[in-house]
Structure 1
Amino acid sequence: MNVKSVMSFGLELVGFGAKRQNVQDKLNLQCFRSHFGIGPEAIPASTHDITFFRGGTQVSTNRLKNEAIWDQNALYFKIPEGKRLIGDSGYKGEPSIISTSVDEHSDKVKEFFARAKSGQETINTR
């Protein structure tokens, strides 16, 4: 069993069947693992999720300064144009790519978001 088949199975579990998995080939799990807690180049746990998502290593209020040093292999750069992700409130800083729950959402939308986030947590158990 290889990484691609494991990822494919995990996506199917949370409702992303074969037709919706065209994004998986753009994700580099080995690169993700090398930065996320494994090895000497791992990003510290104190790094904010959105900073890690963007490929940064430090938090700064100057976005232009940060963008210049973002890792181009980060997930931020792998999301196809027109596609969106679902994330928790820690990702509100990227509304063009990540949808987060807001009070104005209907109960059905809030439940959908909660289930999607729960599925992600199940797949990415730490």
Structure 2
Amino acid sequence: AEILTYANLRVLITLNLVYDTIAESDTQKLAYTLLADGGTLILTNPSGLGETTGGKTVKFTQWNPFAPENEHVGEALYAKLHGYLDSGAIQTNRVEVLPGGLGGIVAGLERLQEGKVSGAKLVVRPQETA
């Protein structure tokens, strides 16, 4: 099987808009690679990419419902949040509690590195440490 690199991945797919919610160095590079010329990359952490090329735009966003200019949005959202959760309009992240408290961290990290975790937050309960 061919090893999938950023270069050959770019041949398979390009995107006009990428919203990188992890926005760490590796995900920023991957997102930028997949970005079409003239496309926009939105990051939730400051960019570490340096100079952009191909008419690509990189933007940093950090929305805060408690900022004075967003107060009305935050109040409206939080007033309706329970209803959104009850109706399923907004769903919480799926979580997986790792057994063994702090002792479960290493195995959890190994699973992450091996790509064996998808669509879930790994949770450790320190009070369960033996």
Give the structure with the larger strand fraction. 2
- Both proteins in one fold, TM over 0.5: no
TM-score by length of 1: 0.26
State the structure with bigger RCO (CA 8 A, min sep 6), 1 or 2. 1
Larger radius of gyration: 2
More helix as a share of residues: 1
